[in-house]
Amino acid sequence: MSHFPRHRLRRAAHVIRQGGVVAYPTEAVYGLGCDPWNRAAVSRILAIKQRDVSKGLILIAADPAQLTPFVEDLPAARMAEIRASWPGPHTWLLPIRSMTPRWLTGRFDTLAVRVTAHPLAAGLCRAFGGAIVSTSANRADRPPARTSLRVRLALEDGPDLVLAGACGGSGRPSRIRDGRTGRVLRG
């Protein structure tokens, strides 16, 4: 992370703490992020994307402990497989805790979670001090942005701050798997 100024991460984390929306690079595409506990911020992301709340969202974290407030562990063998895939572009659907907001889960009893391997995205989670919402930076019917310029052009009314940086080498959004069964839902 030495190539990315820490003051920019601190500023982005401050924006998130204040209820703002930040765009940032991930393993494959730019993401839109906010404080998952802030309903107004999540609603704003959904409005920017023109996405229905019933579809649910993904949370990313710098380490599995940041996901603990939102999801329950599965049996040890299942959790071992999940943890072995992290950090990386592997999103898992895990059972939610009773306090997990519905504005994150939509119509589901699971939440999509990932421990990111992207140094800037992980640095943002560390600077914020927890998991953040991570949904592709695009309107629901458009291709995801892969550069900060594309974010700015596609989402004029979009994020409060764009953290410019390179996306990782993955050519497509993360694979999503059911944590209970291991079955691939988006691959």
Domain boundaries, the chain: 6-186
* 25 DSSP β-pair partners: 30
pLDDT, residue 2, reads 44
Residue 50, both tokens:
């023109």
**Rounded CA separation 95/2 (Å):** 36
Look up the pTM and report it. Answer: 0.93
Task: Give the 3-state secondary structure of residue 41.
Answer: helix
Cα end-to-end distance, the chain, whole Å: 29
- Residue 116: CB atoms within 10 A of its CB come to 30
For the segment 24-39, what is each residue's pLDDT rounded down to a tens digit?
999 989 999 999 999 9
pLDDT, residue 4, reads 66
Closest CA to 38 of 11, 22, 54, 19: 19
Altogether, the residues listed in the chain come to a count of: 187
Domain 6-186 CATH superfamily = DHBP synthase (3.90.870.10)
**Rounded CA separation 33/136 (Å):** 9
Residues of the chain falling short of pLDDT 70: 1-4, 171-173, 187
pLDDT, residue 1, reads 43
pLDDT, residue 156, reads 77
